[in-house]
Structure 1
Amino acid sequence: MTDTPDHLELTALLSGQFDALADLVSGIGEDQWRTISPLPGWTVFDVLAHVVGTESMLLGERPPARDPQEPEVDVETFPHVRNEIGKFNEVWVQRLRSRAGAELLDHYRDVTRRRVEALAAMDDQAWLAPSPSPVGEVPYARFMRVRLFDCWMHELDIADALGKQVDEGGPRGELAFAEFARSLPRVVAKRGKAPAGSLITFELTGPLARTLHIEIGDRARYVDTPAGDATATVALDSGLLVRLGGGRVEPETVLDRIVFRGDADLGRQVVRNLAFTI
């Protein structure tokens, strides 16, 4: 999988993802904006405010000044803030939270419009230049694929909070899932503690249906054609896998939606330890 996706294609996908988020919240009432999301401590409003914050930062902008009428909050005391990225995210959310939902949406549309224009104007040198990102220093192109994944996940977060259905497949879903899937072998081996010599197979149904074989050796890796039968097979919907990996659902509450074959105990151990996204 290349770390340098096509500039025009990824810019178009990000633009479509930004539009999808805006469409999802367009016209909702203020009470719906304040609906609790699957992310700890955040409402639907906060999720979109987080996207505004990250895209504003990428435009070189700083968080709004704190309203002097609002109490000063130490975001590091929040249990869901566990690192510097979490602290950065929370500052933006806190500074935007006093606005009305419709005002935030207008701000979001302005910020994302300018981001798409900035992305489209980048030359190849800037597109390929090393850049700090949540996954380390990578080409800027790879960072933008991480951004697509993050915003796609937040589309699912908002849809789940509002009880809406969205298309989780298509080109945006495919590229976002490809970014998600990069980490899955390491997670299965390190967090799920699948033993050396085992083969873990995920049989995915739903909008991103596919079969993933992960072989645990000196390092965990995908294999196209396994040498033998799977040690454990985990069959579930693709959307459920993504939500487990994103820590959006408690594994114990969804085990009855998963079919385990082979070593079922190992399969359940892996599923209970899939959460890895920031």
Structure 2
Amino acid sequence: MTDPTLERIGLTARLSEQWDAIAALVADLDETRWRTPSPLPGWTVFDVVAHVIGTESWLLGEKPPAQDPAQPNVDVRTLPHVRHETAVFNEIWVQRLRPLSGVRLLELFGEVTERRRKALAAFGDTEWQAETPSPIGPTSYGRFMRVRLFDCWMHELDIADALGVRVDEGGPRAESAFAEFAGSIPRVVVKLGKAPAGSRVTFAVTGPLARNLHIQVADRAAYVPAFDEPATVEIRLDSGLFVRLGGGRSTADDHRGEIEYTGDAELGSRIARNLAFTF
């Protein structure tokens, strides 16, 4: 069965809408607000947008701009929040764009995303399904674009949280982004949460993306429609908190009153405290 969140025309439309949502969030910022610290270590709101520009520019075959000779030459590998080569790539783009004004950065964001819209519009189904390198390993180009939607959606939330504003966290864009997020959760439950074989873990997700996610841990962890026996633990939390924990933007210890456990609370707490996999 074809995954509707990977359908070419719909996904490209949602990605385009996601870029518009980011642009709208920062459209009226003054230079001080542009430099507001974000939930991502070492990055401001400006830097988050610069990161999106960098990735979309790379997908257009472009390289980072030259180092501004008036700026200090920073070895990005020495920065504490740079932990792997993908982070090195991201940080170089951010560092090179950082001397720009917020106004110019927003103009650049509009220019780059418009060129990406045109490039995506030229894709046919064959190109969409072709295998390509991606941050999650070799996959179809369409799946890579769902990863891009998830990344950009998370960055919309980062910007909103930094600025103290609320955005709609539901709807088609969020559904597609959450599908990408949720695909990693069974692996996280076992690898990071150390759920033992035989465990039955339910995430009772409330809020804009409400649903029940049932994970059976056997030889490997996988989603199942329902359990034959009661869940070992049910973890009840809001969808916004769920994705922020998975994204390493916050910790379960900071939200103890917002997460409920039914059943094996020790297992549930261990899983909730070890959900971060995208930082």
TM-score bracket for the superposition, by shorter chain length: over 0.9
Partner of 1:115: 116
1:108-147 correspondence to structure 2 within 5 Å: 108-147=109-148
1:212 alignment partner AA: L
Unaligned runs of 5+ in 2: none
Partner of 2:264: 263
Aligned residues: 278
Query: For residues 172 and 208 of structure 1, do their structure 2 counterparts lie closer, same or farther at Cα, with a shift above 3 Å needed?
Result: same
CA distance in 2, matches of 1:161, 1:36: 6
Tell me by how many angstroms 1:228 deviates. Answer: 0.7
1:65-144 correspondence to structure 2 within 5 Å: 65-144=66-145
Partner SS state of residue 254, structure 1? helix
Tell me by how many angstroms 1:204 deviates. Answer: 0.8
Residues 1:38 and 2:35 aligned together: no
1:145-184 correspondence to structure 2 within 5 Å: 145-184=146-185
Tell me by how many angstroms 1:251 deviates. Answer: 2.1
CA distance in 1, matches of 2:182, 2:226: 17
Residues 1:231 and 2:232 aligned together: yes
Runs of 4+ in structure 1 deviating by more than 6 angstroms, as ranges, are none
Tell me by how many angstroms 1:26 deviates. Answer: 0.6
Partner of 2:223: 222
CA distance in 1, matches of 2:98, 2:166: 26
1:235 alignment partner AA: R
Unaligned runs of 5+ in 1: none
2:107 alignment partner AA: D
Tell me by how many angstroms 1:162 deviates. Answer: 0.3
Partner of 1:249: 250
Tell me by how many angstroms 1:80 deviates. Answer: 1.0
CA displacement 1:148-198 (0-9 Å, x = unmatched): 000000000000000111111100000000000000000001100011101
CA displacement 1:220-265 (0-9 Å, x = unmatched): 0111121110111110100000000000002211122111111111
CA distance in 2, matches of 1:170, 1:2: 20
1:208 alignment partner AA: L
Tell me by how many angstroms 1:2 deviates. Answer: 4.7
Partner of 2:25: 24
Partner SS state of residue 100, structure 2? coil
CA displacement 1:58-97 (0-9 Å, x = unmatched): 0111101001111111000011111111000000000000
Partner SS state of residue 36, structure 1? coil
Residues 1:185 and 2:186 aligned together: yes
CA distance in 2, matches of 1:147, 1:2: 19
1:139 alignment partner AA: S
CA distance in 1, matches of 2:31, 2:199: 50
Percent identity reads 63
CA displacement 1:1-52 (0-9 Å, x = unmatched): 7578221111111110000000011101111110110001100000000000
Using structure 2 for the length normalisation, give the TM-score: 0.98
CA distance in 1, matches of 2:270, 2:236: 14
Tell me by how many angstroms 1:124 deviates. Answer: 2.2
Partner SS state of residue 266, structure 1? helix
Partner of 1:199: 200
Give the alignment's Cα RMSD to 1 decimal.
1.1
Using structure 1 for the length normalisation, give the TM-score: 0.98
Partner SS state of residue 260, structure 1? strand
CA distance in 1, matches of 2:263, 2:55: 43
CA distance in 2, matches of 1:151, 1:144: 10
Partner of 2:277: 276
CA distance in 1, matches of 2:36, 2:23: 16
